[in-house]
Chains A and B, each alone.
Chain A
Amino acid sequence: MATMTNTERSRDGKRRRKKKVGAEGHKWKSQAQQQIYSSKLRQALARVRVGGAERRGKAVREAADRVLAVTAKGRSRWSRAILRSRLKLKFTKHRNKKRHSRSHSKKPRLSVYRLKGKTAPVLQRKVRFLGRLVPGCRKEPLPVILEEAIDYIPALEMQVRAMSTLVNLLAASSSSSTQ
């Protein structure tokens, strides 16, 4: 336990290197990842039975997002934010505490990170917009928002692929059963 073998050390190094942006994007394209997501989604959907039509649609969306965050293994801000948001509904005290700790860094850091020159207010607005779209990035500085978006978009694409496949599967099986 005291001495780490060379292989362990290199594995740790690899894991740390994998944390960089870019390598994360590929994992969402893999078939294996989609399978994992699909099976987790199916399990979650089996539990979403009750409720009227409107509630059920929202419940499905929430389940799909939650499973996506779980599949991300909490390695990204957006996935952690999705998982946290479910807790926020139950524990509002938790939420206030989070607000307070963030207020220290509330100063817009955007002026520090220049994007090929001065950051025009137009750009600032667009970045803020993007920050609102990606979960958990509302108050993050520009580079963080970009990094999160770079991981979030392939994840969303995989979510769409997996859900489309599931919809086609169910539609085909249900239509064949009614014939």
Chain B
Amino acid sequence: MSSRRSRQQSSSTRISDDQIIDLVSKLRQLVPEIRDRRSDKVSASKVLQETCNYIRSLHREVDDLSERLSQLLATIDADSPEAAIIRSLIN
């Protein structure tokens, strides 16, 4: 095969099923949808699906917060007397 296998793979080139199962279970702990379900029979497909949904919802939250932050920054710029005080809070 190609000797390029040994590039930046951190562990061995052959990943065992156990390692993958371990990774999936770690992922399961992170996603609240699945973690609170208290069932041991969550399929890998479900874990992946919920992970995707969770990351997407987190992205949406960050977008939302970014919008609000930008609006707040705009209002701060508008009011000049208080701006100095608030800017000191930020910096």
Contact surface of A with B, Cβ cutoff 8 Å: 19, 21-22, 25, 42-43, 45-46, 48-49, 53, 56-61, 64-65, 104-105, 113-116, 120, 122-123, 126-127, 129-130, 133-134, 142-143, 146-147, 149-150, 152-154, 156-157, 159-160, 163-164, 166-167, 169-171, 173-174, 177-178
Collect the chain A residues with CB atoms within 8 Å of residue B77's CB: 49
Chain A residues lying within 8 Å of B66, measured Cβ to Cβ, are 57-58, 60-61, 64, 163
**CB-defined interface of B49-78 with A at 8 Å, one 1/0 digit per residue?**
101101110110111011111111111110
Contact A60/B70 with A149-B51, A153-B55, A160-B62 known, Cβ cut-off 8 Å: yes
Say which residue of A146, A153, A166 sits within 8 Å of B20 (CB atoms).
A146
Listed from nearest, the 6 A-B pairs whose CB atoms lie closest are A177-B82, A61-B66, A56-B70, A126-B48, A146-B23, A163-B65
- Asked whether A164 lies within 8 Å of B65 as measured between CB atoms, the reply is yes
B45→A126 contact, CB < 8 A: yes
Q: Which residues of A contact B74 (CB under 8 A)?
A: 53, 56
Q: Is the CB of B89 within 8 A of A159?
A: no
Given contacts A60-B66, A149-B27, 6 further A-B contacts (CB under 8 A): A53-B74, A57-B66, A116-B44, A133-B56, A146-B23, A156-B62
